[in-house]
Amino acid sequence: MGRDYRSIILDKVNEKKQSFDDLRKVLEVKGENDFASFSDALEKLRIDGDLYLDKDGFYHIFDERLAIKQGQIYINKSGVGYVKVLSGEKEVSYMIPSSDLNGALPKDIVIIRPLDKKFLGHQYAEVEEIIKRDKFLEVFKYIGDGLFIPYELPIKMNVLVNDKLCNEIVPDTLVLLDVSEGCVTTGDKTYFYGNISKVIGHKDDPKIDEKAISYKYGFDHKFSDKVMSETDKIATYVSEDEILDRVDLREKTIFTIDGKDTKDIDDAIGIELDGDNIILRVSIADVSHYLLQYPSLIKEAVHRGNSAYFADSVVPMLPHKLSNGICSLNPNVDRLTKTVEIVFDKNGDIVSSDVYKSVIRSSKKMNYDDVNAILEDGIIPDGYEEFAGDLILMGKFSELLTSKRNSKGSISFSDLEFKIHTESDGTPTSITRNCHRKAETLIENFMISANIAVTEIYGYLGQPFVYRVHGEPNLAKLKKTVEILREQGTFSPNAINNLLLKIEKNIVRPGDLRPILKEARKLGNIDAVSNLLLRSMQKASYSEANIGHFGLAEEDYSHFTSPIRRAADLLNHIMIDLVMEMNYAQSTEEIEVIQDKLNLLECELPEVCQYISDREVAADQAEREIESLKTIDYLLDNMDYYEGPIFAEVLNINKFGMVILVDNKIKANIDAAELCNLGYQYMRGSRTYVRSKTNDCFKLGTKFYVLDAEVSKSYKVIKYNIAYTMDEYERQYSADKYKVKCLRRTHCLDVK
């Protein structure tokens, strides 16, 4: 292994600028290994922004003395680039006009040169050099002669592809291109070089936009021939041999509760009373039983990371024969499971817990709507009569678990999730907001309990495990957020000051946020406050190291309950299988073989955990883009509905305008220019827009009316104009609030 040159190089360059050869000689770099380590260290220091290589070939320490900055570039929907750079403890944002990008693409690491020009708090800059090109996968449209242009990306760019596939596709075919091989400038045009990663289809094909988005984020609708070949070898029924040595729960009352359209059913539940104790059984599909002998299936599942659920389709992590078939806990058929059995006392405290392999036969496939009818309305739908008693017991027990979680400090944010209902051809027909009611909370509580129990049993064995972690919030961000809430003057000073005091003392616990959220629910602005607070939180992720879960207020947590649709859960099932196998091993040799497998997994876990965390983010981004696309399609087909003033609420405010929630189901924007035209001024400290003449004010959670939907499908943007504030509405329509006159007609822009 070569020497570690990083600190030595920095010391030498700190003394004076150095060329590559100067450094190589002074550090006495000899031999292939040393030369490779030396070269890698130099390149890494350059990418990390520690060293700057000038045009004469000399390395400098990258600090404030240089009139340039380095960072990662992001490009917005208008084709304008942004680079954020730390200057001391302050973050400075630089804006790069599209004309000054100089070939830079999103997420490239670039060197920028600040210009003597500012706009809305951003200093202008130009890209001087691209240090590292990120792998840029994007959807392009073929226009002929090996030339491609972006399908929806606002950046103006031309991509040349030298591939025989160009002879097999027609103009207007959409493809996924890997644009990472540099570019060439001819005259006033820059041509990038790319490779075809995937042919998606013609732009006029049904559901082509959804396919384009899913492929862009790496969600392939098809499985490879090798994966399908292995899938075909798996039986479609449970054999008697497979049941041997499993706990037989087929005579127990066990059922599933999911959405009406769910086909990949991971979990089933059952409950019993044992004196004063409650026995909860959570049985999870034993997917690893089928995959352990088929490495290509495991590799494919990890590669996909998770299933992606779009508005009207699913891109599964596993082929449908598994996800909807033998692994899905369908009713009235035998299914292999791993059961988490937890015994609780009457206070909801755990007496004992165990995890074992089992076989079940689900009695019924239930849905949330029907179960909510029982738990909330006392109505027993047809076919639920024999299960009503168990469901009512589960509902009461779930309330006890909720109380226990709240007392520990678990945080419950408002969820802004929506369901887009579509026709069979994908045409959106309606949009509703997902409601987290008693049945949904019941399943959430039981799954969390199972995940905690599994982690406490297997997390302490010293063997590799995939943990679901959520780090403590960035206190500087949290402080800034709480100060914004204080400046808005909505919350009681005590709740705000108590939280700020704990932030100052660095003793923030999850439960410390509960008073703010509780008050927000009473004030009716929980959506806006949750949205703001979540921005100061870290994102939950997967890790081989257990650092706890801040949001759940749990020291030990992992994902175990969804192995059909999450790779993290599947990996934990595999590792549990290996540990169980080790416990039953008959010889030292067998134990050593199993331990070698676990040791190999342990070496790979850090990289795998980062990868599947990234895949989760990719799924979220794809789902949001498709949701936005479907929402725009819905608006375009229902323009009459948006002619009159419509109720809206402010979700977020900044100097560029406001993010709003329209009719409790559509996220949209209002530009700062619209607010300024109406006489509003942005107050930076409190993140409010105030109109001095009337004292009208827009802050987080403000309710008002909008009209004029401006819809851009190519930019995936929905904008509204303000009709009236609540006060104006009351003043103008106090005589008859139901006879609302439209002041302007609705219109839409640049619709494709």
744: pLDDT confidence band, cut at 50, 70 and 90?
very low
Task: Give the pLDDT confidence score for residue 549 in this predicted structure.
Answer: 96
Q: What is the mean pLDDT of residues 28-35?
A: 87
Query: What's the pLDDT band for 121 if we cut at 50, 70, 90?
Result: low
Residue 3 confidence (pLDDT): 67
Cβ–Cβ < 8 Å for 724, 645: yes
Q: Report whether pLDDT(1) > 70.
A: no
Q: What is the DSSP string of 683-724?
A: ETTTTEEEETTTTEEE-TT-EEEEEEEEEETTTTEEEEEEEE
Among all chains, which residue has been given the structure tokens 């509780």? 518
Taking 80 as the threshold, does the pLDDT of residue 2 lie above it? no
Rounded to an integer, what distance in angstroms lies between the CA atom of residue 266 and that of residue 450? 13
d(CA 147, CA 177): 11
Residue range 476-501: mean pLDDT, rounded: 90
Least confident of 112-121, 536-545, 643-652, 740-749: 740-749
The larger pLDDT score, comparing residue 151 to residue 307, is at 307
Q: Average per-residue pLDDT in the chain?
A: 90
Residues with Cβ within 8 Å of 493's Cβ and at least 6 positions away in sequence, in order, are: 486
pLDDT tens digits for range 68-103: 999 999 988 778 899 988 777 677 889 998 888 888
pLDDT bucket at 724, cuts 50 / 70 / 90:
confident
Across the range 716-723, mean pLDDT stands at 83
pLDDT tens digits for range 545-597: 999 999 999 999 999 999 999 999 999 999 999 999 998 888 999 999 999 99
Q: How far apart are CA 582 and CA 588, in angstroms?
A: 10
Confidence at residue 752, expressed as pLDDT on a 0 to 100 scale: 32
Mean pLDDT of 32-56: 90
Whether residue 739 has pLDDT greater than 50: no
The strand pair at 350-361 and 334-344 is best described as: antiparallel
Q: What is the pLDDT of residue 59?
A: 93
For 119, phi then psi, to 5°, come to: -155, 125
Domains of the chain: 6-61 (no CATH), 69-132 (2.40.50.140), 137-205 (2.40.50), 233-454 (no CATH), 473-535 (no CATH), 638-733 (2.40.50.140)
Please report which helix (H) or strand (E) contains residue 493, including its range: helix 493-504
**How much of the chain is in helix, strand and coil states, percent to nearest 5?**
35, 30, 35
User: 644 pLDDT band (50/70/90 cuts)?
Assistant: low
Model pLDDT for residues 230-266, shown as the tens digit of each residue? 999 999 999 999 999 999 999 999 999 999 999 999 9
Compute, in degrees rounded to 10, the torsion defined by CA atoms 196, 197, 203, 208.
180
Residue 732 confidence (pLDDT) above 70: no
The whole-number pLDDT of residue 729 equals: 67
Q: Which residue has the higher pLDDT, 434 or 272?
A: 272
Q: Answer with the residue of higher pLDDT: 452 or 637.
A: 452
- Percent of the chain predicted with pLDDT > 70: 94
- More confident call, 684 vs 738: 684
pLDDT band at 723 (very low <50, low <70, confident <90, very high): confident
Q: pLDDT-based confidence at 348, cuts 50/70/90?
A: very high
Cα distances from 711 to residues 628, 631, 752, in angstroms, run 11, 10, 11
Give mean pLDDT, residues 23-46. Answer: 90
Pairing outcome for strands 122-132 and 109-119: antiparallel
Residue 743 above 60 pLDDT?
no
More confident residue, 582 or 715: 582
Query: Strand, coil or helix: what is 357?
Result: strand
Q: CB-hemisphere CA count at 13 Å for 725?
A: 16
Q: Which of 282-296, 364-378, 717-731 has the lowest mean pLDDT?
A: 717-731
At residue 185, the pLDDT reads 76
For residue 725, the model assigns a pLDDT of: 77
- pTM comes to 0.88
Residue 59 bridge partners (DSSP): 18, 53
Closest alpha carbon to 23 in 57, 50, 56: 57
Residue 448 confidence (pLDDT) above 80: yes
564-581 burial, b if ≥16 CB within 10 A, otherwise e?
bbbbbbbbbbbbbbbbee
Q: What is the mean pLDDT of residues 633-646?
A: 76
Asked if residue 270 has pLDDT above 70, the reply is: yes
Query: Which pLDDT score is estimated for 259?
Result: 93
CA distance 719 to 705: 13
Q: What is the mean pLDDT of residues 363-391?
A: 97
Q: Indicate if the pLDDT at residue 322 is higher than 90.
A: yes
pLDDT (tens digit per residue) in 681-700: 999 888 899 998 888 899 99
Q: Is 96 helix (H, G, I), strand (E, B) or coil?
A: strand
pLDDT of 371 > 80? The answer is yes
pLDDT score recorded for residue 191? 87
Residue pair 287/322 in contact by the 8 Å Cβ criterion: yes
Going by pLDDT thresholds of 50, 70 and 90, the confidence category of residue 738 is very low
Q: State residue 734's pLDDT score.
A: 53
Instruction: List the structure tokens of 493.
Output: 């000073």
